[in-house]
Chains A and B, each alone.
Chain A
Amino acid sequence: MPQLICSGGSGMINTMYQLDTLDSAKAFLAALLIGVAFGFFLERAGFGSSRKLTGVFYFRDMAVIKVMFTAVITAALGLTCCVVLGIVSIEGVYLMPTVYGAYIVGGLIFGVGFVMGGWCPGTAAAGVASGKIDALIFLAGAIIGSALFNEMFGLIKPLYESGQRGVVFIYDTLGISKGTFNVLLSIAAVVMFWGCEWIEKRKTSQSLGDNTTILKTVSVAILSIAIVLVAVGSGLPSSPQIGATAGVISSESQLLEAVEMAEDHIEPEELAERMLRQEPGLIVVDIRPVVEYLDYHLPNALNIQMKDLHHALVPYKNSGTIVLYSNGMTHPVQARDSLFRSGYTNAYILTDGLNGFIERCLTPISLRDEILPKETADKIRAWRAFFLGLAAPQEKPDIPDVPLSDGLLVNAEWLERQLESADTKILDLRVQPEYNTSHIRNSLSLNVENLRINLDGVGSMLQPADMLARHFSGMGIRPTDMVVIVYGDKTQDATLVGIALERLGHTAYRILNGGFAAWKSANKVVVSELPEIVSSSYPVTGTDNFSVDYRTVLEYVKSRKGIILDVRPSDYYSGSKSDEARAGHIPGAINRPYTEDLVIVNNVPWFKPAKELSGVYSQIIPSKDSTVIIHCRTGHQASQTYFVLKRLLGYSNILWYDAGWSEWAAKKELPIE
């Protein structure tokens, strides 16, 4: 095993977790060998006996505490040494997130199960090896317990996720430095060891004998290594006085470190200004858990989890500016360093994190101690309006100010002027009885579901061109017509019809922004007579080069050349919610929920002004000709983002993955995150 480590070379080791090769045969072999050593020492220590293990709970035999804490201290100090010596970086190791609720309840139940059953999973494996039938029974129970958890997962999920804090270090929680914590932990361990010996001595009236020599050596070694680490961490030569001043020196060194790293930071005020003017190429990434992101995030920030960063940020590597933030600084620093080592020179962290941003930029002027110059006060007001959505009251119109036509989006005035033209065909997508009772004169009723079909086993696929042509022929639509789409309560209905037209090569269409509600609120004429239709014969000449299948998507996943935009709601993207065979998302996909492009007025969605959307997407997509694959679950919501990017904003390489997550999740051989 040591050879394996040294083969990493003189520099930094890249762990298998870092290289993403934990699923390789090499990793399986390494895990097996590490397991052998693990099982060997467990059995050596006497943990192949449930009686010895449970002894700790009856103060009979304190070996559990002695072995466990020696192991923890050895590994903790060893790892700190390796990090200090530059052998490995801490982000090369998988760090479990802290989930307070789940861990507290889990720990309590585990404790009861432990003392009741006499085993824990690892020791039971060693127990079975030494012929303990009760260990085998215990393991069978643990398998049943795991299956039970799976079956009850829906019920337990709120608890499983309660109190999520992301990766948190105990020294940060306690507000002390890592070095100080190591020293305190070592002192606590040594005290505990001697306490255990004392307890056992009283219980068994047995002399400490040989144990003391080893214990004394171990105690001295632990304490001195911990103290030396503090000294080394402070960058000062070790001296006998170091122990006493450890805390002070350590925070001094942290300060120096922070100063030294300042060039990787971006100050909150600077970020606020750059975001406010919607600087193109500025990518703001929120690396907190989804729940916290949903709670509040900086406008247009992408939510990417730490483990997905390397994947998801590839399109932005060394073009534009990437700013990482979390609540505090620990994780963004880790993430930035990790990205830097992978060759990113454009990743920055937000000084003081989101907490600092809120405090420095968004604290109301009335709550600030100092008196601010007018210029600064104005800035803070503008930031608060932008980041907290606190627009001044007079700037809140009931209905978005839609220009006569905003690209392919039109308003009621525009449509009214077109009514008399024989070349205008209006499609009303509302359901019955709304359409029959009142609609725009000569508009045709269309249910978008009638344009979808099951193809190759995947449901809700847009029909092939010939079927669509027959459908539109029946409605009397001709290739020369201007089609105006009027939606009810779903913008994506309109864009799906738009995509159906595009499949036939028909790009002469417009969408009434605000749908039928916009027509009504503009007090335009409605009728209840049904139109007379002369059916046409729409030719099939469509050149559909915008919908792609999973093979194409997989190529992009592998080559990482384009951007995969997952427009489903964030909780589906993260996998915390799922309606499909598997939960999660396509590796490397970026989440931009389609709803973010809308503004809801009286329960009706409107497209946001193209100018505003343009600013947002210029921060997500590097250039107008970048390849972007858009998908959702069934292609419906994705059609909206397709429309926004391709037709409103003029991006040229927009691909639509119709089958979407329904198909991807069902094909078990496809990778997910």
Chain B
Amino acid sequence: MEKHNTTKNRYMNPYLAGIGLGLTLLISFLVLGAGLGASSGLARLAACMELCVAKTHTLSSQYFGKWGQNPMQYYLVFMLAGTFLGGLCSALLANRTKLQIERGKQSSIRLRSVLALIGGILVGFASRLAQGCTSGQALSGTALLLTGSFVFLVCIFVGGYATAYLFRRQWND
């Protein structure tokens, strides 16, 4: 019981962390005039990679094409880099940097990796479709009280809870 408590206390109180996150978002609204975002940075990275492989094809494609030849010159790319740096600061301070594939004790590295990859593909795709992810839509959009963002948020939980059972094995201890 006592041990459990100490592991739990390693993280910040969720409500205080939430207030910190909310104030960060508020500052983003006031300074940038736009909310937080993460998936856009990844999509720009994807466009950049595609440009390296097939330049004319990418430039003429309907979606990435409109970002031009320098898709990385976009504020959300820098925000994504910042997110990594901020995470690194916090993890280093709390001594939580450990190279690992996080999974249940009885789950294989292979299962966890495959699920992470496919999950990533689905999330990357869905984020473009919905013009944002948990950061841009579910967090920033709902804070702006936008109808579409609430719809997106509800659907994330519907999709998640409906299929959670199928993927539970990766966390089996």
A residues with a Cβ closer than 8 A to B are 1-2, 4-5, 13, 15-18, 22-23, 27-46, 48-52, 54, 56-58, 63, 66-76, 78-79, 82, 87-88, 92-100, 102-135, 137-151, 153-154, 156-157, 159-160, 165, 167-173, 178, 181, 193, 204, 206, 209-211, 214-215, 218, 575, 578, 581-584, 668, 672
Contacts and interface: CB of A to CB of B under 8 A. Distances in A.
A35 B88 CA distance: 12
B73 interface: yes
Contact of A70 (B15, B24, B96): B15
Contact of A134 (B58, B82, B112): B112
Interface of B: 1, 4-5, 8, 10-36, 38-39, 41-43, 45-47, 49-50, 58-66, 68-69, 73-76, 78-91, 94, 96-104, 112-113, 115-164, 166-168, 170-171
B33 A38 contact: no
Mostly helix, strand, loop or mixed at chain A's interface?
helix
B127 A70 contact: no
Contacts, number: 582
A582 B21 contact: no
A480 to B, nearest CB: 49
A145 B65 contact: no
Contacts of A2: 27
Interface core residue of A42, A133, A218 (most chain B CB under 10 Å): A42
B60 A581 contact: yes
Nearest to B21: A71
A100 B38 contact: no
B16 A214 contact: yes
Contacts of B137: 96, 103
B20 A141 contact: no
Identify the interface centre among A5, A35, A178: most chain B CB within 10 Å of its CB: A35
B79 to A, nearest CB: 4
A108 B75 contact: no
A106 B18 CA distance: 25
Nearest to B85: A36
A144 B120 contact: yes
A74 B11 CA distance: 20
A69 B8 CA distance: 20
Contacts of A57: 160-161, 164
Contact of B18 (A33, A50, A71, A125): A71
Contact of B144 (A15, A36, A95): A95
Contacts of A96: 131-132, 136-137, 141, 144, 146, 148-149
6 contacts: A70-B19, A78-B26, A96-B148, A115-B119, A131-B99, A142-B127
Given A144-B46, A150-B62, 9 more contacts: A29-B78, A34-B28, A35-B78, A54-B164, A76-B142, A98-B149, A113-B118, A130-B88, A133-B113
Given A67-B17, A94-B34, A78 B85 contact: no
A584 B128 CA distance: 19
B30 A87 contact: yes
B19 to A, nearest CB: 5
A87 B30 CA distance: 9
Nearest to B163: A112
Given A31-B75, A111-B160, A113-B119, A150 B64 contact: yes
B20 to A, nearest CB: 4
